[in-house]
Structure 1
């Protein structure tokens, strides 16, 4: 089968057979071997309980696992700050595209985005027991937005900036606790005159 028409199914389950076999021998170590693929209809908890699904990872947990695996992978593979930010931006944009177009976010596709010369490398790294990233990732916008943006909000200040700006038009002095913006637009300058 080449194409699965998700809009015609209520629920599909992706089973990682290797991880399932491991779960039979090391039940405490391996817990994630099922990933649910949704069609356009809602999944009922009844069906998940019926097939014995006890571990239901939330979108926040799924997205956090992906984010943590991505940061660790970039660090362990010696990616500099600029390359890491670029990979994070591309992964975020792919995830956002999938969410907007109601498509599944696939770890295998993300793995290709991160390293097109070794397209399975990140998928193998992220799916190991340390991170337990499923092949199908659930989208949590708040969590994944941090791959592309730095966000902060307090009672007096709200800020959101693209990580690509850091070191260029947004500079931070961590010791003096000073954040400086350069090349700001005339529109922003006009806001201070009001």
Structure 2
């Protein structure tokens, strides 16, 4: 269930000033937080953001007095903070307007600010008079606190009135979103209150009909984003968790094939950028027809989960190698084995390495045919 606390939209227009382009940002009227159209819009935006590809980041350290994280923090203060109107006026006037001069954005853009919460669904309770009653909205548990800044086109199925109110929300096309950022306010405030220097990527930038531009990140005072290494590690974890979740449907052979194919894909695409959707297509090709309903679900699983995977990244095989290889220290040697070759001593498959759970013995036989490897062994024995 969604509860809108504050929302407003600005209209952007440009003017030429001595060969320089200035931006004028004019606010409309505050949105009616209880309007069915507004709540429907927020719900659709939330679903689009959380089910689509994102780029994850955090705010830069040492925020300036008028920077986005500073005034956002002031707006969120329970006592003594600034109002919502002071917040968005400050941001548009002192940050966004300046950074828009570095953009190639044309007139017609609408900038939307929304503060909303996700509430636990309403339930029925028995009142003192013994009559069943619905729990009041103000008493519902808050399970998410979000702030969204969107830049959208006033066109198509997403239309605004002359006063910048939402008029139609039957279809929200993500391509109408020029830029967008969702802030997880719970994580933002927790990070501010902590003494840790550990990075928490509570910003989610969305790619709409254009790439995520530096001018928008700069206006939000955001860092460059999740590292490529982190995206690869999170992809590996997401794939492992997805396979574990569907262990009953996808047997080990299928899971091994999925992980091997994703690893092979990383080798094929070495040095190039890939998307989560491309990895998902590789996974889907490995899923048997008997479980066709799982096709397309890995991308949904990764996007809606705790995994922070940038919308474009280089999938490096040396980072995700544990999908297919395992290193074992057996005392006198370190073995690097293919995971798919490991099986139990009672396994009826043709896996070449057997593990006896009773004795903890690992058994395998290898025949070496490479002349260079044979030469090395014989030289050691003959010394």
Same fold (TM over 0.5): yes
CA–CA separation in structure 2 for the residues paired with 1:137 and 1:156: 39
The 5 A counterparts of 1:153-192 are 156-167=332-343, 168-187=351-370, 191-192=376-377
How has the CA–CA distance of structure 1 residues 53 and 127 changed in structure 2, closer, same or farther, with 3 Å as cutoff?
same
Determine which structure has the larger strand proportion and give its number. 2
Aligned partners of 2:266 and 2:316 also within 8 Å: no
In the alignment, does 2:308 pair up with 1:132? yes
Q: How is 1:26-37 mapped onto 2 (pairs within 5 angstroms)?
A: 26-28=184-186, 30-33=202-205
Give the match for residue 50 of structure 1: 218
- State the superposition RMSD in angstroms: 3.4
Residue 18 of structure 1 is aligned with which of 34, 49, 65? 49
- In proportion to residue count, which structure has more helix? 1
Name the CA distance, whole Å, in 2 between partners of 1:154 and 1:171: 15
Number of aligned residue pairs: give it.
Answer: 167
1:70 paired with 2:253, answer no
> 1:92·1:147 contact (CA, 8 Å) conserved in 2?
yes
Q: Are residues 1:112 and 2:281 paired?
A: yes
**Larger RCO of the pair (alpha carbons < 8 Å, separation 6+):** 1
Partner of 1:142: 318
Q: Flag the 1:189–1:163 CA change in 2: closer, same or farther, 3 A.
A: farther
Q: Distance in 2 between matches of 1:126 and 1:66?
A: 8
Q: Which residue is equivalent to 1:42?
A: none
**Superposed CA offset, 1:45-96 (max 9, x none):** x989735432622233111111111111111122222211110000111112
Deviates more, 1:65-74 or 1:148-157: 148-157
Larger-Rg structure: 2
- The Cα shift of 1:191 comes to 4.9
Kept in 2: contact 1:127–1:134 (CA 8 A)? no
Conserved? CA contact 2:263–2:324, under 8 Å:
yes
CA contact (8 A) 2:230 2:309 kept: no
Q: Is the 8 A contact 1:148 1:162 kept in 2?
A: yes
2:265 alignment counterpart? 94
Per the TM alignment, residue 189 of structure 1 is displaced from its structure 2 partner at its CA by 6.5
CA contact (8 A) 2:238 2:307 kept: yes
